[in-house]
Each structure stands twice: as C-alpha cells, then as structure tokens.
C-alpha cells in the first residue's frame, strides 16, 4: 500500500496546525505579560528545588530568601508552561514535597526539568560544580 502526496499532506495538517496554534498562544501570552518569568530556587539544607511563575520575580526572591532559598535560574515564560511542567513531573511519578511547587532536587527530577527546558542553571545533571558558592546563570546567559 502506497500513500500519495495528498494523503501525506492531509496527515500532516492537523499536527502542524496544532504546533502553529501553540506557538501563537505562547507568543501572544509573552507579549501580554512582558515581565512573566519562570524560575527555580534551591535550598541546600533539604535539597529542595522550587519551580514557579511570577510577574514579579523580585518579590518572590525576597520571600524565598527569607526561607533560605537561592535563585538558581530564571527566564521569560508563561503560567501555562509552568503548569504543564508541573503536570509532566507528576505524570512521570515525581512527587512534590511541601506543595505542588516544591520537589526533591534529585537527579531524576533535575534531568526531566532540563529536558523540559526549565531553567535550572547550575543544578543541571552532569554539572560538576556544586550549588554552594557558584555563580548562577540562566540558560539564556549561558547561550550568549
């Protein structure tokens, strides 16, 4: 059985349109929320990573620093991206600890976050540096 070109084109239309719509939604969301940021904080005492979204990262950083968390990386992002990342973690049997934004910073969790292009900075699996005392940079800074 052979497929002709028209059948191939028709088969690719739906996934292509879905990708275009998703990209358009992301672009529009970023334009409407220019300060929207996704982030990761880390606390070494219990090896906890916190992931989230905020329109005011400075305020979140103050709140987190009061609980001994350090910002390890951040970048522009959307609430939807943060929600989908948390859902993907849960679908991969990665359980949250204190609430739905807090996770154990083990290798499995960090590897999945990295695969999802979540900003994890120096927490990246395979990074030989430790978090304590190392400068933290976002992926965008590293790529430059």
Can you give the residue ranges of every domain in the chain?
37-143
- 18-22, 122-126, 137-141: lowest mean pLDDT where? 137-141
Paired tokens of 97 = 């600890």
Q: What is the Cα 109 distance to its own chain's centre? A: 11
Q: Of residues 85 and 132, which shows the higher confidence score?
A: 85
pTM of the complete model beyond 0.75: no
The position carrying tokens 């005492």 is 45
d(CA 6, CA 15): 15
Instruction: Give mean pLDDT, residues 35-47.
Output: 91
Structure tokens at 141: 């800074």
The stretch 35-39 carries a mean pLDDT of: 88
- 40 forms beta bridges with 51, 73
Judge whether residue 135 has pLDDT over 60.
Answer: no
Q: What percent of the chain has a predicted confidence (pLDDT) above 70? A: 72
Question: For residue 62, what pLDDT is reported?
Answer: 94
């Amino acid at each position: 059985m052979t497929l002709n070109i028209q059948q191939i084109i028709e088969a690719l239309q739906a996934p292509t349109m879905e990708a275009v719509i998703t990209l358009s939604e992301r672009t529009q969301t970023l334009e409407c929320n220019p300060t929207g940021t996704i982030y990761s904080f880390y606390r070494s005492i219990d090896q906890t990573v916190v992931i989230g979204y905020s329109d005011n990262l400075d305020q979140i950083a103050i709140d987190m620093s009061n609980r001994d968390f350090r910002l390890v990386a951040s970048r522009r992002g959307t609430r939807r991206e943060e929600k989908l990342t948390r859902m993907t973690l849960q679908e991969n049997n990665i359980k949250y600890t204190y609430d739905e934004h807090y996770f154990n910073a083990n290798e499995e969790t960090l590897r999945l976050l990295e695969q999802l292009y979540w900003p994890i900075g120096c927490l990246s699996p395979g990074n030989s540096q430790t978090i304590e005392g190392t400068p933290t940079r976002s992926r965008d800074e590293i790529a430059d």
